[in-house]
Amino acid sequence: MKNSKLIIALSLALIVVFGSTAFAEYPEKPVQLIVPWKAGGGTDTLFRIVAHYAGKYLGQPMVIVNVPGVGGTLGARQGKDSKPDGYTLTATHESVISSHLTGVSEFDYSDFIPIANMAVNPIVLSAKWDAPWQNMKDLVADAKKRPNKIKYGVTLGSTSHFYALGIASNAGVKFKVIGYEGTAPRRAALLGGFIDLTDNPAGAIKKYAAAKKMRGLGVTAVKRHHLCPDVPTMQEEGINAVYGTNRGICAPLGTPKPVIAAVAKALKQVSEDPEFLKKLEAIGSTSMYMDAAGYKTYIDEATGLYTKLAKEFGLYKIKK
């Protein structure tokens, strides 16, 4: 009897020791980061930089895997359903919220473990260079005269859709919303004259404004963006619209805490790396590191705001 108890005790001790050693050695191979959008987009560009520096601090490469489709939900679903061993993580932003609220997906952030937010990108409401509006005041005055006539290109159910709704709600106007799958098709439609407005990152506006093809009417940030300092904030134009795309990294439910801690530590180190911060600035992103607790608080706040807009504009269609 005593020998049996001794064997059991030794077995448990070995499990603890070898289990701890296994987690301490994470990662033992490259870590995949699913980006649920096409290569070359804003989210992909940011996370390729994040992945480069994360590999430095993890001790193993972080490899980007693009899984585009259905407004970002195809890749996000694949990420949440991945084996919870820390070797498949998912790049996320507010589309996880908007897609759920609009009935595009049956899951939300509660189906992930938030690890950290890395950066934020405000959007610049953009029009063609020869559009009749020089600023937001001109646009709002025209939109009030012509409700539902000015065509605003969005990716239906994603963040761009909710940015359009937020701007319209705060400005007291109604736009005609036109759906496109992704930023690049929306931008092409704007330049081709098929729509009147869409959102762009500051870096794109800088390039297209210099070529006199597109102008920024207002930026959804608390202060003007360093890449397009001539574009006033929405608040300067009298519209209380402060929005941004917060891009973070999540893990599947059930991922062991030691693994989450290892990834979180590496991402924190990335967020403090001077070279990383310089590269963020160059692409027009702003460092917005949030640890797991801070990221969860932000997610809850954003969910409340998006839910309000979805109900206000009749888009609230949560799948049961």
CATH number of the domain to which 283 belongs: 3.40.190.150
Residue 144: CATH number of its domain: 3.40.190.10
Tell whether 186 and 133 lie within a shared domain.
yes
Position 24 in a domain? yes
The pLDDT tens digits of the residues spanning 51-101 come to 999 999 999 999 999 999 887 899 999 999 999 999 999 999 999 999 999
Tell whether 112 and 132 lie within a shared domain.
no
Tell whether 196 and 208 lie within a shared domain.
yes
Position 169 in a domain? yes
Tell whether 107 and 168 lie within a shared domain.
no
Helix (H, G, I), strand (E, B) or coil at 81: coil
User: What pTM value is reported for the model?
Assistant: 0.83
Around Cβ 106, how many Cβ atoms within 10 Å? 13
> 121 has which bridge partners?
245
| Amino acid sitting at position 285 | S
Tell whether 72 and 133 lie within a shared domain.
no
232 preceded by a cis bond (ω within 30 of 0): no
User: Domain residues for 296?
Assistant: 16-121+246-312
CB 148 within 8 A of CB 175: yes
Tokens 């991945």: give the residue: 82
Tell whether 262 and 188 lie within a shared domain.
no
* Model confidence at 7: pLDDT above 90: no
What the block records as the tokens of 256 is 């062991």
Position 6 in a domain? no
Tell whether 116 and 24 lie within a shared domain.
yes
Tell whether 103 and 162 lie within a shared domain.
no
- CA-CA-CA-CA torsion sign (160, 181, 132, 145): negative
Position 21 in a domain? yes
Beta strand residue intervals within 132-244, DSSP E: 151-154, 176-179, 198-200, 214-219
Position 235 in a domain? no
Position 319 in a domain? no
Position 4 in a domain? no
Q: Cα dist. 288→117, 196, 246, 285, 294 in Å? A: 7, 31, 8, 9, 11
Query: Element (H or E) spanning 32, and its range?
Result: strand 31-35
What is the number of domains present in the chain?
Answer: 2
pLDDT of residue 177: 96
Give residue 248's pLDDT band: very low, low, confident or very high (50, 70, 90): very high
